[in-house]
Amino acid sequence: MDNKALASLLFPEKLHDPEYYENLYPLRALPDGAKVTRIAPSPTGYLHIGVLFGALIDERAAHAASNGVFYTRIEDTDSKREIEDGVSSIINGLYNFGIIPDEGMLDGAEHGEYGPYTQSKRIEIYHSYVKYLTEMGFAYPCFCSSEDLDAIRSTQEKDKLLPGYYGEFAACRKLTLDVIKAKIDSNESYTVRLHSQGTGKRIKFRDGIKGEIETDENITDIVLLKSDGIPTYHFAHAVDDHLMRTTHVIRGEEWISSTPVHLELFKLLGFDAPVYNHTALIAKDDNGSRRKLSKRKDPEASVQFYRDAGYPAEAVIEYLINIANSSFEQWRKANPSASYKEFPFELRKVGVSSALFDTVKFNDVSKEVISRFTAERIYESALGWAEVYDSELYNALSNDRDYAVAIFSIDRYTAKPRKDISKWSDIRQYSEYFYSELWTARQYDWPENVSDADRQFIIDEYNALYDPNDDKDTWFGKMKDVAEKAGFAREVKLYKADPDLYKGHVGDISTVLRVALTGRRQSPDLYDIMKLLKGNKS
């Protein structure tokens, strides 16, 4: 076979040779050890939590421990599955979570010297490299129809052979140049396949996360260019990662089985392969067994779930980074006010086994994150969420900003701020007793050891004594006075010393008043609540 003649037949147009692109996209001038990483989503669906997890690891690997580069590349070669606004929704979604690339799609336009960063704009580049592979004898046209491929698959299944287009089953490997030319002249549809050099031996490669992996080398003649001239993912990513000078590819462990194909592509193209790093999947407990977090079954698989519920972006990021590096939790305890970006993230310490998405733990992380927010930030965040999702809450909060900020200030600026709020959708329940328009009839959680008559007596007596100008000591002193009048101990220690002498203690008085005002036994500081409500609600 005259391979150069075949290459000219398949690619009659004038194309640059690989050397041109090697010069156009030179090695990056970066410090030793700097990592170049990328997130390469396809605009075929919503931003998945797994994509966000991968993007976070990519960004941290490039920036946390090296003066590297993190870029986005849009892999839009599957136009049939592409959805409207797929690109913008993914890029904007990453931005909303604070994951900002150095290069790629930024503000609706491409930025950087290694673009285009959208694969559909790089077709000529791919054709140049397929032409090169053809000239080297590593690629050929395949005219097999879907029926032909089905017949091959049926034979392999019947004989219990490895499925695929390889060896004796790669019928178009044997076509002569004259036959190929005749078929092309007859406008027969064809793809261009890799002529794999694999023999089926075992190979090893070093995974940056999982360590040494041993597997079978690739023997399959995978498709490089589809019949419309568009490259497949496998081929396009190899060319792009090389020309964009990617040093570390970080992706889910489901791609391990494809790595032999990718390593062969890099070898035949004459490229140095990047370091592949395969992350474990995020799993979910399903009746005692772990399974992959599902786009179809699990609402929390979509980042839209977190927006709708009102979780702050920082909470999602901190939970995911803790999954990625388990030492983050201890670091956060020692550095409660630091940005997560100060954490010394290490790619090699990413867990090798699947991480369970623990909803309870995630809510705890979110409460911790919100507890570090100022009252003003809580107000603005809750207001922004409510404007979209809860018009009644929005109207209540926006009516008096200072009043709302004062609500969120209660117990906030202390050594141990309260952690009642895990998401902005909690704000209605958290603050409803401050707003008559939000307050609805409910079952009051009265203490069982206080009779109805004593409860009413306590409320009436305290209403008569309450003065919003009292300091906290005077305020609590009056509560003790009411306790004594109602037959309750002024001090808890007095009650514990001789419980038979009293109906209860001053703590029961405060509980009655708390429930009368809030409907619940647990709430922020009662003194501050009363001052805000000015004693008008009883």
Q: Is residue 520 part of a domain?
A: yes
Residues 506 and 428 in one domain: no
Query: Which among 256, 279, 302 is the end of a domain?
Result: 279
Is residue 529 one of the residues assigned to a domain?
yes
Same domain, 154 and 181: yes
Which of these ranges, 64-68, 323-327, 426-430, has the smallest mean pLDDT? 64-68
Helices (H), 221-258: 233-243
- The rounded percent of the chain whose pLDDT value lies above 90 is 83
Query: Is the pLDDT assigned to residue 100 strictly greater than 90?
Result: yes
pLDDT digit string, tens, across residues 166-217 = 999 999 999 999 999 999 999 999 999 999 999 989 999 999 999 999 999 9
439 occurs within a structural domain: no
**pLDDT tens digit string along 255-287?**
999 999 999 999 999 999 999 999 988 888 877
**536 pLDDT exceeds 70?**
no
Task: Note the Cα 396 to chain centre separation in Å.
Answer: 32
Task: Give CA–CA dist 85/68, Å, rounded.
Answer: 29
Q: In this predicted structure, what is the pLDDT of residue 82? A: 64
Which tokens in the block code for residue 506? 């001053």
Q: At what angle do helices 375-389 and 401-409 cross, to 10 degrees?
A: 120
Average pLDDT for residues 30-43, to the nearest whole number?
92
Instruction: Decide if 258 is inside a domain.
Output: yes
- Asked whether residue 76 is domain-assigned, the answer is no
pLDDT at 488 > cutoff 60? yes
The upper half-sphere exposure of residue 490, i.e. CA atoms within 13 Å in the direction of its Cβ, equals 7
9 and 156 belong to one structural domain: yes
pLDDT in the model for residue 121:
95
CA distance 47 to 87: 10
Cα–Cα distances (Å) from 364 to 84, 286, 301, 477, 535, in that order, read 36, 21, 19, 36, 33
Domain boundary residue among 254, 279, 304? 279
Across 130-139, average pLDDT: 98
State the average pLDDT over residues 299-303.
Answer: 88
Confidence grade of residue 250 (pLDDT, cut at 50, 70, 90): very high
**CA-to-CA dists, residue 405 to 113, 377, 401, angstroms:** 46, 9, 6
What pLDDT is attached to residue 313? Answer: 96
Q: Are residues 397 and 488 in the same domain?
A: no
On whether both 395 and 518 belong to a single domain, the answer is no
Which of 355-359, 451-455, 483-487, 512-516 is the least confident region? 355-359
Is residue 291 included in any domain, yes or no? no
Identify which of 142, 153, 158 has the alpha carbon closest to the alpha carbon of residue 222: 142
In this structure, the answer to whether residues 422 and 459 fall within a common structural domain is no
The total number of structural domains in the chain stands at 3
Q: Is residue 102 part of a domain?
A: no
Q: Is residue 233 part of a domain?
A: yes
pLDDT of residue 130: 98
Digit-coded pLDDT (tens) for 359-373: 999 999 999 999 999
Instruction: Please indicate, yes or no, whether residues 423 and 391 belong to a single structural domain of this protein.
Output: yes
Mean pLDDT in residue range 408-412: 96
Q: Give yes or no: residues 462 and 414 share one domain.
A: no
Same domain, 419 and 517: no
Asked if 399 and 499 sit in the same domain, the reply is no
Domain extent for 244: 3-15+122-279
Mean pLDDT for the chain overall: 93
Task: State the CATH number of the domain containing residue 254.
Answer: 3.40.50.620
pLDDT for 83 equals 67
* 166 & 248 share domain: yes
pLDDT for 86: 66
Upper half-sphere CA count for residue 271 (Cβ side, 13 Å): 29
> Is residue 513 domain-shared with residue 387, that is, in the same domain?
no
